[in-house]
Amino acid sequence: MSATAGPTGASSGRAIWVLNGANIGRLGTREPDVYGPASYDDLVEVCRRTAQDLGVDVDVRQTDAEGELLEWLHEAADEKVAVLLNPGGWSHTSVVLRDACAMLTAPLVEVHLSNIYAREAFRHRSLTSAVATGVICGLGVEGYALGLAFLAGRR
């Protein structure tokens, strides 16, 4: 099942996709001591507000199905769309997700709500980080605003 917020922003023709993987839709109730008190709706609102301020269009999506996330990345590659990606736990385990990210020609920023390097050792290695333009972690939903600002400047 996926949750999409749909395109929003200033209809500038400059698009950024915010793609969220497994469990991100559970923000606010899933380990708030680790991921913060913000809900998924709060995260979407931060993205929408930031995109509007930056004058870019944003399409925020979330899925708990790895195949769906892969399809979105393939679509982004075909459309040459910049991507802000929170792969969740798949960043540590999914070679196919890493390979889909490598197909992107527009910039890719990986974002994590928590500081993955201050957590369990298995989270310290991200397969997707190796093919990302940059990585933001540990800043909660504010990391999304920073990632969008960077990508808006690169388009």
CATH number at residue 33: 3.40.50.9100
Question: Does 35 qualify as catalytic in the annotation?
Answer: yes
pLDDT at 108: 98
* Cα-based angle 96, 101, 105 (whole degrees, multiple of 5): 145
- Which residues, in sequence order, are CB contacts of 114 under 8 Å at separation 6+? 34, 35, 137, 138
* Cα-based angle 139, 145, 148 (whole degrees, multiple of 5): 125
Model pTM? 0.87
pLDDT at 9: 46
The pLDDT of 110-118, averaged and rounded, is: 84
Bridge partners of 61, per DSSP, are 4, 19
- How many structural domains comprise the chain? 1
pLDDT for 12 beyond 60: no
Catalytic residue among 35, 40, 117, 144: 35
Catalytic residue among 40, 112, 117, 144: 112
Domain extent, residue 70, equals 2-154
What pLDDT, in 10s, does the model give residues 30-86?
A: 777 776 788 999 999 999 999 999 999 999 999 999 999 999 999 999 999 999 999
Question: Does 112 qualify as catalytic in the annotation?
Answer: yes
Candidates 153, 126, 148; CA nearest to 43 is: 148
